A = this chain, B = another copy of it.
Amino acid sequence: MTASDTGNPAAILEEARHRGGATLDEHQSKRLLACFGVPVVREAVAADPKAAARVAAELGFPAVLKAWGNTLAHKTEVSGVVLDLRSPAEVETAGARLLRIPGTEGLLVQDQVQGNRELVAGLTRKPGFGPCVMFGVGGILTELVADAVFRIAPLSENDAAAMIADIRLVEMLGPFRGQAAVDTEALARILMSLGEIGLRYPEVAQIDINPIKVRPDGTLVAVDALVVRRDAAGVDDKPPQARPAAGSLAPFFSPESVAIVGASAVPGKPGHEVVRNILANGYEGRLYLVNPQGGEILGLPVHASLASLPETPDLAVVIVPARACPGVLRECVARGIRQAVVSAGGFAEYDEGGVGLQEELEEIIRTSGIRVLGPNTAGHTSTPYRFTSGFFPLGAIRPGTVSYVSQTGNFCTHTMKRILTGEHFGVARVMGLGNAIDIDESDALEYVADDPETQAVVMYLEGFRRPRRFLEVARAARRRKPVVVLKSGSSEAGGRAALTHTASLAADDRLVDGLLRQAGVVRIRDYGELIMAGKVLTMSPLPAGNRVGFLAPSGAMLVTLTDLCGRLGLEVPTLEDHTIRRLEEISPPLIRMRNPVDIWAAASARGVEFGYREGMRALLEDPNIDAVVPILLLTGDTGVPSYEFILDLAAAHPGKPILVGFSGEQRYVDECRAFLEPRGIPTFLEIEEPFAALRILTGCRRSLTAP
């Protein structure tokens, strides 16, 4: 880049606008990037072959010559690039050929950059996400390895550093075949600059720098670049329509008074079951049942209308058919009600008519400021207030410290039933978001993040209503308490299933993945982990780190579980000498011990309880160990231990999770689970599960402390 080529970005964009066309030409593109500190290749435009030869002589040989023109985006496809030119004569010959390519307006002469490592970086825009920065490996790898990661602009230094470390082929950035490590600080600055351009210049729709070459000394230089203008690209990244300042969600979770609009005397009907659920949970506020038919339901009087209530309730649970919902919601507004749950399905997720009904609800919300959960929601629950708006017959919901936010009704119904009947933990708040036309994933997370009754948050999401807002809320939330997210639809096929299931935004999973990583929340993949996460986040402390000590009665288990730890990112560290000595003390002579611990010999020689107790104690006392997983041997013939010792060890080491797996006889396994779990020690039927659970815990610890 010669000095005369630099300029200010506004002027360069104005020049491009004036000139027209979908893109800035290659030279303009790099000039724009250079304004933001991106290191670009030394180059200049020449009008004819003779001038090109002069420029090349100035820049030095070998030189690269490229066809240059406003409409020449894909130069390599028209053989518009010649490398390795070593003399003015060669430049002239090549230049003469290039000028014959249709669309060529001049010649771009470049310094030929050494180095065989290539990177790519860029900027793209997506609705809701706004400007997003891309980074990946370049050349043939970009397409083959699909090794590209995304972050949402603006990027902090930490964001950029994490992004760089996130590519699969990160080894490529270290010292490599005698070449220096990549200057990752300079790389981070490039990525941050791309974000800055995206935020500052809305007319820049897209940027591709491909490749950024890595010189043998590790420095970087943008060799080719393309800037696409927005009026050409037709990109839309506008955030969803702004909403009026929203009220707090607190009244949903601690309503002094509630109206059930559509209360029913018919058992099995949602309008009946919701009343039964509220009574079963022992709601202590004032409950008003509303139905034009009047009468009495479950011993409670029924009011004919909202208008006839003796007070304005804090919350209305609207449990009438979809077509009646707009009218009822208007009545709520008229009565001065500020919060409503709309349970009915049959809106945008259903058919065209439903889309119209949903738009009616949205209009009422927009004009009145009433806060709405739903429609198409299975309701919400607040055990500290002994309240639920759910109509699935769950009965009394066990109080707990974990809160769930779910974009699927299923979680709040039969999965909750599974938790209540098969698990030993409870919940603080539960929200089924339904179609989320007002309260969405960001509002919900913001509420539970701030909620003193909630000690951990588990979310099931199929899309983001407001990705940028979610990023902001989640980033703040995960520093305060564990936040675990299952975002489904990562495969293409899964994505299709999501589209037909809800009226949800199907975002590219790479963007979503970038967002969740940038937010720093812990991501899970399996539906079953929703339950597992709630369980361990309720029962276990967060470990200080990811270093696990484990014991099993079998070398085969130790080996396969060590493999598993590698796949899950858990470390199986070496123990202190005195720990080893203690493990050898409790074992028969001459048995050498290590982590993981083969406890078979100790347990069979000195008793199962003694072996496990002393083995676990030794691991728990080792400063290298953050969490302990015993695979308990439970068979009648080897002797079944009393399980109390596990409680004692947990009490003595409150900062180190103990996650219990089993090998042996089913009835003792069942017995041990039934003893330990109500006492706060999580147990798992499959020996791999404690490690999957520990991955969640260690992830949450990292999230709490990450920048």
Contacts and interface: CB of A to CB of B under 8 A. Distances in A.
Interface of A: 77, 84, 86, 90, 116-117, 139-141, 143-145, 169, 171-172, 176-178, 350-351, 392-393, 406-411, 414-415, 417-418, 421-422, 460, 462, 486, 488-494, 496-498, 500-502, 525-528, 553-567, 572, 590, 592, 594, 596, 598, 600, 633, 635, 637-638, 662-667, 669, 685-688
Closest CB pairs A-B (n = 8): A410-B554, A501-B555, A408-B556, A422-B666, A491-B566, A494-B563, A393-B637, A494-B562
A556 to B, nearest CB: 3
Contacts of A418: 662-666, 669
A526 B665 contact: no
Given A171-B144, A172-B144, A566-B494, A414 B559 contact: no
Given A143-B177, A489-B559, A494-B559, 16 more contacts: A144-B169, A350-B590, A392-B637, A393-B637, A408-B554, A408-B556, A410-B555, A414-B664, A462-B555, A488-B560, A491-B565, A493-B563, A494-B563, A502-B555, A526-B560, A527-B557
B491 A528 contact: no
Contact of A556 (B86, B116, B460, B687): B460
Contacts of A596: 497
A318 B430 CA distance: 62
A689 to B, nearest CB: 9
Contacts of A572: 493
A584 to B, nearest CB: 13
Nearest to A268: B637
B590 A417 contact: no
A410 B598 CA distance: 11
Contacts of A422: 665-666, 669
A681 to B, nearest CB: 19
Contacts of A417: 635, 664-665
B178 A410 contact: no
A528 B140 contact: no
Contacts of A407: 556
A471 to B, nearest CB: 22
19 contacts: A144-B169, A350-B590, A351-B590, A408-B555, A408-B556, A410-B556, A411-B554, A417-B635, A417-B665, A418-B666, A421-B664, A421-B665, A462-B559, A488-B563, A489-B559, A491-B562, A493-B563, A497-B596, A685-B685
Nearest to A345: B601
A528 B631 CA distance: 13
A73 B597 CA distance: 46
A555 B171 contact: no
A432 to B, nearest CB: 11
A562 B688 contact: no
Nearest to A169: B144
Contacts of A406: 556
B528 A688 contact: yes
B116 A415 contact: no
Given A502-B555, A556-B411, A665-B421, A562 B493 contact: yes
B171 A553 contact: no
B563 A491 contact: yes
Contact of A558 (B486, B497, B557, B638): B497
Contacts of A663: 410, 414-415, 418
B667 A421 contact: yes
A289 to B, nearest CB: 21
Contacts of A564: 525-526
A553 B527 CA distance: 13
B560 A414 contact: no
A60 to B, nearest CB: 17
Given A493-B566, A592-B500, A637-B393, A488 B559 contact: yes
Contacts of A178: 77
Contacts of A563: 488-491, 493-494, 525
Contacts of A172: 140, 144
Contacts of A145: 145, 169
Contacts of A502: 555
A341 to B, nearest CB: 20
A182 to B, nearest CB: 13
A516 B117 CA distance: 35
A246 to B, nearest CB: 26
Given A417-B665, A494-B566, A564-B526, A488 B140 contact: no
B686 A414 contact: no
A488 B596 CA distance: 15
A598 B664 contact: no
A149 to B, nearest CB: 16
Contacts of A177: 143
Contacts of A500: 592, 594
Nearest to A685: B685
B688 A556 contact: no
A71 to B, nearest CB: 19
A587 to B, nearest CB: 13
Contacts of A415: 554, 663
Given A117-B140, A169-B144, A667-B421, A525 B410 contact: no
Residue of A178, A566, A686 most packed against chain B (CB within 10 A)? A686
Nearest to A146: B171
Nearest to A137: B144
A563 to B, nearest CB: 4
A507 to B, nearest CB: 14
Contact of A525 (B144, B411, B560, B665): B560
A86 to B, nearest CB: 8
Contact of A501 (B116, B559, B688): B559
Nearest to A666: B422
Contacts of A462: 555-556, 559
Contacts of A141: 141
Contacts of A117: 140
A486 B554 CA distance: 15
A316 to B, nearest CB: 25
Contacts of A144: 169, 171-172
A431 to B, nearest CB: 14
Nearest to A422: B666
A169 B497 CA distance: 28
A556 B592 contact: no
Contacts of A685: 685
Contacts of A565: 491, 493
Nearest to A633: B414
A279 to B, nearest CB: 16
